[in-house]
Amino acid sequence: MISEKMQKALNDQINAELFSSYLYLSMAAYFEAENWAGFSSWMKKQSSEEYGHAMKFFHYLNEVNGKVTLEAIEKPKTTWKSPLEAFEEAHKHEIYITNRINDLVNLAQSEKDHATNNFLKWFVDEQVEEVSSVDQIVNKFKMVGDNKVALYMLDKELGSRS
C-alpha cells in the first residue's frame, strides 16, 4: 500500500509532467507563429512525450491502489525572444523536473517504498537523456549564432526527430 505522503508527491508529479507537456506545446505554438516548423515539430513531440510521462505516473498510482487527484495546470509562458531562449528555458525546465524526480526517489527510499523506488528508476534514466538532449540543442544554437542558413538547417534537423 502506498503512503498518503508518497501518493501526494506522485500526484504533484503528474501535475508537473502535464505542465511540461503544456509548456512544450506552448513553445510549439510560438515556433509555428514564427515560421519555425522544425522547432515546432520537435516541441510537439516533446509535449507528447511529457504527457506519456504523466500517464506512467497515473497508471502506477492506480496499480498500487492509490488515488489519482488532478489539479489545475499552471498557464505556461507563450512568447520568447528567440528560439535559443525557448530551448534554454526547456533545458532549465528539464533540470527542474530532474530535481523533482530525485526528490521522489529520496522520498521513496526514506519510506522504504521499494516498489515506487523501482518504478522511479526509469524516470531517473529518462531525465539524463532529456537534459542531455536539450543541452546539445542549446549548444548548437550557440554555435550557429544568428547565421540564418545555419538556423534554417537546425530547424530542418530538429524537424526530422522521429
Percent pLDDT > 70 in the chain is 100
29-69 pLDDT per residue, tens: 999 999 999 999 999 999 999 999 999 999 999 999 999 99
| Residues whose CB is less than 8 angstroms from the CB of residue 22 and which lie 6 or more positions away in sequence, other chains included | 47, 73, 74, 76
The DSSP call for residue 160 is T
pLDDT category, 130, cuts 50, 70, 90? very high
Q: Which domains does the chain have, with CATH numbers?
A: 4-159 (1.20.1260.10)
pLDDT category, 15, cuts 50, 70, 90? very high
The C-alpha cell that represents 146 in the structure block: 544568428
Q: Angle CA(40)–CA(46)–CA(52) in degrees, nearest 5?
A: 145
What does the H/E/C string look like for 25-81? HHHHHHHHHCCCHHHHHHHHHHHHHHHHHHHHHHHHHHHCCCCCCCCCCCCCCCCCC
Residue 103's alpha-carbon distances to 15, 66, 118, 143, 148, in angstroms, are 15, 19, 14, 34, 41
Residue type at 36 in one-letter notation: W
pTM higher than 0.85: yes
N-to-C CA span, the chain: 38
Residue 155 predicted with pLDDT over 90: yes
Helix (H) or strand (E) holding 156: helix 148-159
Average pLDDT over residues 59-84: 97
